[in-house]
């Protein structure tokens, strides 16, 4: 059921006042459909249940403000873009509550919202808050065995590492079991997650029965870079270039999200020409990201020729980036209030010719994906994430849309030029790896259409590309800016303190929500399919960590052995050769 912003806002506020009574402390409206509600901390779980059951609200993320001796302010950000029950454009609700600095505790909402697991674990470690009833209390950044030394952990048998069983047995995941095959003198020497042979660093642990995966677990936090804290020590303008380095592939998207949030703080309106150029670069980056991902996916299933095709045509997109910005990856195009460089009239025909080449190739790739036997055999019915699972885990972007969850910030919270351009949201009902391939390839065609429309607008719209920007921002202002990155919704929360340096910066990347969904998709699949299943969510390790390592535990042979992702990738390619 679709509601207007005003109608849904009134319904939510009325329901909160009715249910909370004196525990409801008031509300105020921010810019661009942001609604902020203040409540007492004991009501957080009740509010989460009400928003999910009655309004089908989606949890975007959780933020924490450190107010020193005044305590901690915990903020829960919700969107209303699941279209099964309630839907409205432009409404983002933030529920705020204050807890004391001494013994800071608050009820966990993880029994209601699974996506809160990662956010609460992260906020627990970064801010020292205890979330009572957190369903997975293991460390997020710190090693699981902290504060005990790894060598001091005494485990006399291999324990089941499934999160549900861990809590019952030992309360934590033991990464180094020391009793293998009944020989306590044996131990495991893990290679990684940091090792010269690894491209990046994560820790996957797969429990297998022969070739079948029974259960999976994922450990993050091997290289937390402290970017959010760093941005709280730099000026708003210097932070543009820090946000650009959160992720190389999504560099422009991160600066777009950061700049949108700062522009909301300062009530800065972008000039039309600046909006069109920023939108054009964003969609170009989506094309680039999807083609890069498709090439990696083809390489993982052993289709080397298709890998080279995708990356060949990706070069045309990089050529456009270089023509417009001077750079192929880190474009440095965004500034607060607009963009740094213009797209001149003589560039447009050259860009259009490049887009023609990419469009012809993308249409061929869509045809290839639907007819090529190898692609279908390796992806159809593999790593299925159902619609209900997708909503439960809280996935976003192509991962969600491939499971028939039609959410897209460009449609649901229109920004830049997305409300002025015509395009279709791509969804598929199957939820398997194949659906994710098709969704991304069709999105390339939609992004090309948006790029063309932006170029047409630039031919007729003149004026400046930058707006005037204040040097400092008012004290106590706050904003949450959401944009649609190639991998899904990217959210920035920023609070100002009256100076040229932000008081608080919180970043929630799409991979932060998408990565845990691989644990659902890996169950009952084969080891050879693990690489393409993990890759199907386009996991950005830079967004959370920077390495990957996989450990296999064979329940029959009672063996635990570390393997590299490249070893599993070769196993995947071998499966294709057998086909």
- Give me the sign of the Cα torsion angle 117, 123, 125, 128: negative
Mean pLDDT (whole number) for 311-332: 94
DSSP tag of 527: G
**Domains contained in the chain, CATH given:** 5-132 (3.30.460.80), 155-223+513-578 (no CATH), 269-473 (1.10.645.10)
Cβ partners under 8 Å of residue 545, min gap 6: 200, 201, 202, 220, 221, 222, 223, 224
Inter-CA distances, 512 with 37, 118, 316, 395, 515, Å: 25, 8, 30, 9, 6
DSSP characters over 400-462: HHTTT----HHHHS--TTTTTS-------SS-SHHHHHHHHHHHHHHHHHHHHHHHHHHHH--
**Which pLDDT value is given to residue 545?**
45
Confidence of residue 197 (pLDDT cuts 50, 70, 90): very low
pLDDT higher than threshold 90 for residue 455: yes
Describe the chain by its helix, strand, coil percentages, rounded to 5. 45, 20, 40
Residue 336 vs residue 544, higher pLDDT: 336
**Which of the pair, 138 or 529, is modelled with greater confidence?**
529
Contacts (Cβ under 8 Å, ≥6 apart) of 112? 45, 48, 49, 52
Task: Say if residue 376's pLDDT is above 90.
Answer: yes
Assess contact for 91 and 480: CB atoms under 8 A.
Answer: no
- pLDDT bracket for residue 181 (50, 70, 90): low
φ, ψ (nearest 5 deg) of residue 27? -145, 160
For residue range 560-575, list pLDDT tens digits in order.
655 555 666 666 676 7
Nearest CA to 488 out of 444, 528, 538 is that of 538
CA distances from 232 to 60, 79, 94, 239, 382 (A): 22, 26, 21, 9, 43
Determine the pLDDT at residue 198: 46
Please name the helix (run of DSSP H) or strand (run of DSSP E) that holds residue 184, with its range, or none. Answer: none
Dist CA 192 CA 548 (whole Å): 8
Per-residue pLDDT at 269:
95
pLDDT of residue 37: 97
What pLDDT is attached to residue 214? 83
Query: Which of 493, 476, 472, 381 minimizes the C-alpha distance to 78?
Result: 493
Best CA proximity match to 220, nearest among 142, 147, 146, 148: 142
- For residue range 389-417, list pLDDT tens digits in order: 999 999 999 999 999 999 999 999 999 99
H or E element: which one contains 136?
none
> How confident is the model over 14-40, as a mean pLDDT?
95
d(CA 362, CA 446): 11
Residue 500, pLDDT score: 94
E strand or H helix that includes residue 577: helix 565-578
Whether 55 shows a pLDDT value over 50: the answer reads yes
Q: What is the 3-state secondary structure (H, E, C) of 528-554?
A: HHHHHHHHCCCCCHHHHCCECCEEEEE
**pLDDT given at position 188:** 37
The overall pTM is greater than 0.85 = yes
> What is the separation of C-alpha 379 from the centre of its chain, rounded to a whole number of angstroms?
23
Average pLDDT over residues 92-118: 95
Q: Is 469 exposed, middle or buried (0-12, 13-18, 19+ CB in 10 A)?
A: middle
User: Which class for 40: exposed (0-12), middle (13-18), buried (19 or more C-beta within 10 A)?
Assistant: middle
Least confident of 71-85, 97-111, 138-152, 475-489: 138-152
Q: Which residue has the higher pLDDT, 218 or 382?
A: 382
Average pLDDT value for residue range 455-476: 92
* pLDDT value at residue 385: 96
pLDDT digits (tens, 9 = 90+) for 207-218: 777 788 888 888
Beta-carbon count within 10 A of 115 CB:
25
Task: Please say whether the beta carbons of 182 and 554 come within 8 A.
Answer: no
Specify the higher pLDDT residue, 560 or 56. Answer: 56
Token pair 């912003």 in the structure block, residue: 5
pLDDT tier, 138 (very low <50, low <70, confident <90, very high otherwise)? confident
Of residues 279 and 523, the one with the higher pLDDT is 279
578 vs 331: which has the higher pLDDT? 331
Residue 512 has pLDDT above 60, yes or no: yes
Look over the chain and give the mean of its residue pLDDT values, rounded to a whole number.
Answer: 85
Q: Is the pLDDT of residue 235 over 50?
A: yes
| pLDDT band per the 50, 70, 90 thresholds, residue 145 | low
- Under the banding of pLDDT at 50, 70 and 90, the label for residue 173 is very low
Position 227 scores a pLDDT of 87
How confident is the model at residue 345, as a pLDDT?
Answer: 94
User: With 50 as the cut, is the pLDDT of residue 435 above it?
Assistant: yes
**Separation between Cα atoms, residue 301 and residue 568, nearest integer Å:** 11
Reduce the DSSP state of residue 211 to 3 states and report it: coil
Answer whether residue 515 shows pLDDT above 70: yes
State the Cα–Cα distance between residues 256 and 416, nearest whole angstrom: 10
**Are the beta carbons of 521 and 384 closer than 8 angstroms?**
yes
Residue 176 has pLDDT above 90, yes or no: no
Residue 132: the pLDDT is 94
Residue 195 confidence (pLDDT): 45
Asked whether residue 25 carries a pLDDT value surpassing 50, the answer given is yes
Per-residue model confidence (pLDDT) at position 542: 59
Distance from C-alpha of 12 to C-alpha of 7, rounded to nearest angstrom: 9
> What is the model's pLDDT at position 5?
81
Mean pLDDT computed over 30-52: 95
Cα separation, 421 vs 185, whole angstroms: 66
φ, ψ dihedrals at 561, nearest 5°? -140, 135
Model pLDDT, residue 571: 63
State the pLDDT at residue 357. 97
């Amino acid at each position: 059921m679709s509601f207007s912003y005003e109608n849904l806002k009134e319904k939510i506020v009325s329901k909160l006042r009715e249910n909370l009574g004196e525990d409801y402390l008031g509300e105020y409206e921010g810019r661009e459909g942001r609604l902020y509600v203040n409540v007492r901390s004991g009501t957080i779980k009740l509010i989460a249940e009400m928003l999910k059951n009655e309004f089908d609200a989606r949890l975007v993320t959780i933020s924490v403000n450190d107010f020193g001796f005044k305590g901690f302010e915990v903020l829960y950000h919700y969107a209303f873009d699941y279209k099964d029950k309630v839907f409205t454009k432009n409404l983002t609700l933030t529920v705020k509550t204050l807890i004391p600095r001494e013994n800071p505790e608050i009820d966990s909402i993880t029994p209601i919202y699974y996506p809160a697991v990662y956010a609460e674990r992260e906020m627990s470690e970064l801010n020292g808050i205890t979330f009572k009833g957190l369903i997975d209390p293991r460390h997020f950044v710190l090693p699981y065995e902290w504060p005990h030394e790894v060598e001091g952990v005494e485990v006399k048998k291999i324990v089941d590492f499934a999160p549900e069983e861990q809590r019952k047995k030992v309360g934590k995941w033991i990464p180094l079991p020391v009793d293998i095959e009944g020989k306590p003198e044996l131990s495991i020497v893990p290679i990684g997650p940091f090792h010269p042979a690894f491209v990046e660093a994560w820790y996957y642990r797969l429990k297998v029965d022969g070739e079948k995966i029974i259960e999976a677990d994922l450990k993050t936090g091997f290289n937390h870079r402290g970017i959010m804290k760093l941005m709280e020590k730099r000026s708003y303008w210097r932070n543009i270039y820090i946000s650009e380095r959160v992720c190389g592939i999504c560099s422009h998207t991160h600066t777009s999200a950061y700049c949108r949030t700062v522009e909301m703080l300062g009530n800065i309106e972008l000039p039309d020409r600046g909006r069109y150029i920023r939108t054009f670069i964003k969609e170009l980056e989506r094309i680039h990201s999807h083609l890069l991902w498709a090439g990696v996916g083809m390489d993982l299933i052993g289709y080397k020729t298709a890998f080279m095709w995708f990356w060949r045509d990706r070069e045309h997109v990089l050529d456009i980036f270089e023509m417009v910005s001077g750079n192929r990856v880190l474009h440095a195009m965004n500034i607060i209030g607009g963009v740094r460089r213009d797209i001149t009239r003589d560039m447009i025909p050259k860009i259009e010719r490049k887009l023609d080449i990419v469009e012809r190739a993308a249409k061929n790739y869509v045809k290839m994906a639907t007819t090529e036997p190898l692609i279908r055999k390796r992806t159809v019915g593999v790593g299925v994430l159902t619609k209900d699972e997708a909503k439960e885990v809280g996935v976003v972007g192509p991962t969600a849309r491939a499971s028939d969850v039609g959410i897209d910030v460009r449609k649901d919270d229109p920004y830049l030029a997305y409300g002025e351009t015509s395009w279709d949201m791509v969804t598929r009902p199957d939820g398997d790896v194949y659906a994710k391939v098709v969704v991304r390839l069709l999105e390339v065609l939609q992004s090309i259409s948006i790029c063309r429309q932006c170029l047409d607008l630039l031919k007729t719209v003149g004026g400046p590309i930058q707006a005037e920007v204040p040097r400092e921002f008012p004290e106590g202002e706050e904003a949450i800016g959401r944009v649609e990155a190639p991998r899904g919704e990217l959210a920035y929360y920023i609070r100002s303190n009256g100076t040229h340096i932000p008081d608080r910066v919180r970043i929630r990347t799409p991979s932060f929500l998408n990565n845990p969904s691989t644990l659902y998709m890996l169950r009952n699949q084969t080891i050879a399919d693990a690489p393409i299943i993990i890759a199907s969510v386009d996991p950005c390790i830079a967004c959370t960590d920077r390495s990957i390592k996989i450990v296999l535990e064979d329940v029959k042979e009672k063996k635990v052995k570390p393997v590299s992702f490249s070893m599993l990738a070769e196993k995947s390619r071998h499966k294709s050769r057998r086909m």
